[in-house]
Amino acid sequence: MLAAERQYLLERFLNYVSFDTQAKLGAKNSPSSSGQMKLAKQLERELQSLGLSEIHLSKHGVLTAYLPSNVANAPTIGLIAHLDTSPDCSGKHVKPEVINNYRGGDIALGIGEEFISPVFFPFMHQLIGKTLIVTDGSTLLGADNKAGIAEIMTALSILSQSAQPRCNLRIAFTPDEEIGLGMQFFDLSKFQCDWAYTIDGGAVGELEYENFNAASAVVNITGRNIHPGYAKDKMVNALTLACEFQQRFPADETPEKTSGKEGFFHLHRLLGDVQNVELHYLIRDFDSEKFEQRKAFLAQLVEQFNQQKSLRHGLTLEIKDSYRNMYDTVSQVPQAIQLADRAMRECGIEPNHKPIRGGTDGAWLAEKGLACPNIFTGGYNFHSKHELISLEGMESAVKVIVKMAELAV
């Protein structure tokens, strides 16, 4: 990349992370936060200035655009990034810090006690000499997925000014990916392409086209609250029941004890008191059959618990599917993987095929029939105050996007 393009990439990214686009848990409509629409409108103006066509921003914050090919009979590929940041950590008043020529060792974040250390994050040894962008330790950075947005926008700037043959490109910036809501308002009929890519991965070289089958579950427990001084044989403590219920799950099938393609149950939220408790679970598995078995296990566990406890108000269960493994769809379009592989190698990057222990908007698109692998952004430690990204990693993503557009014709 030219020095000016590199600078524009950095400036775009620093501008985008200044928008507070944190998704809101429990939202029923999208976008769930006003900042997402503000960022979408900013991107709409930038797309117009780049000369893209068919620019449309929906009332739900879905922004789409089109860059036509400069040759005849070219295929069309899609590029997608999401506007929101994770609800797991604040994205308000992000204060990024640029570290030039990282020399190794711990990175202190701001003036507080937060730091990022290679002792806990060994990948940092590979970033020595790079330009790193971190936070002040009070918020996440927002590289997930504003790095993807900045990389797509920079690639579009390069491609729109180049005479090099390129394919047609459809662009989408989507809301509320982090809470699985935004794609419900995505009009796939207006995003016609041969295949697409989410630019939403991590380390340089990552190419992902397998992900968890995912569901969420809520178990409600109703107890009976009595004054503790007079509670003998009367009180039914919903908190105690919740603790006992949780102990019946397999102890080694949790996020902190699994990796690779191993599935898990994850108790990620507990709300309540003696009278009422809600247990919120995530259910994950790569294998579709095992995924269904996990849901059935939870249903049986609730039924068994109710029978054994003879509760006046039994436990209730609600399970909701979130997304499916994209592999079956992507495997039917091998050229999507082949193109990304070839583009990375021609950019001097060794592709790293790996499963996503999570999900992307691409999983929803794959369920609708559009193959949509996930490509790296160059970022690490997403959803946390320890999030960071290298400028060189972002440059690599831009180069791969440009190269894919050129090789596709």
Residue 89 is encoded by which pair of tokens? 């950590």
Question: 84, 136, 176, 208: which one is catalytic?
Answer: 84
- CA dist 409 and 25 (Å) reads 42
- CA dist 98 and 133 (Å) reads 5
Question: Can you tell me whether residue 321 is helix, strand or coil?
Answer: strand
Handedness of CA 237, 243, 246, 248 (dihedral sign): negative
At what angle are helices 143-160 and 34-49 packed, to 10 degrees?
Answer: 10
Instruction: Give one DSSP letter per residue of 213-263, joined into a string.
Output: EEEEEEEEEE-B---GGG-TTT-B-HHHHHHHHHTTS-TT-SGGG--TT--
Residue 177 is a catalytic residue: yes
Question: 151, 177, 200, 210: which one is catalytic?
Answer: 177
Residue 285 is a catalytic residue: no
Active site residues: 84, 177
